[in-house]
Amino acid sequence: MKKCDEVMTKNPVSCLPTDLAAKAAGLMKSENVGSIPVVENEQSKVLVGIVTDRDLALKIIAEGLDARSTNVGSVMTHQVVTCHAEDNLQKALDSMSENQVRRIPVVDKENKILGIIAQADVATRSKHPKRTAQMVKGISQVDGKLKSIGE
């Protein structure tokens, strides 16, 4: 089984809690990603949260807020599920399924962001289609039932 650092996207783009949500959305567009790790500051790269395209849609657009005046810190997820570079990939996949998250940041012992593993990384960089299918199924379940399309 591979280690997390063999599958992760290294050095992901990040933003600060004080950055505007519009900046995070712009980064998602330019980098073609669905989430941006949020770090304490650019020097330390200590992970303090994560903001997803879903956060932006549900917490800004659906609430009628302005992405050009709303800080990332007010819409990001603060309790982030993470893994470590040296962890076995299966441990990360299990965490993703258990917590129903599509992406998991990879951090070092000081919680500094090193990379991120997304479902697509597992699908394209891991040679275990059954494990990938199990992970996607686990992430997509709600109360023991699969989510329908559109949920």
Chain segment 84-94, per-residue pLDDT in tens: 999 999 899 89
What are the start-end ranges of the H helices in the chain?
A: 4-7, 21-31, 53-56, 89-99, 119-125, 129-140
| pLDDT for residue 1 | 76
- Percentage of the chain lying above the pLDDT 90 cut: 73
According to DSSP, the β-strands at 103-107 and 83-84 are: parallel
pLDDT at residue 150 is higher than 60? no
Judge whether 33 and 58 are in contact, CB under 8 Å.
no
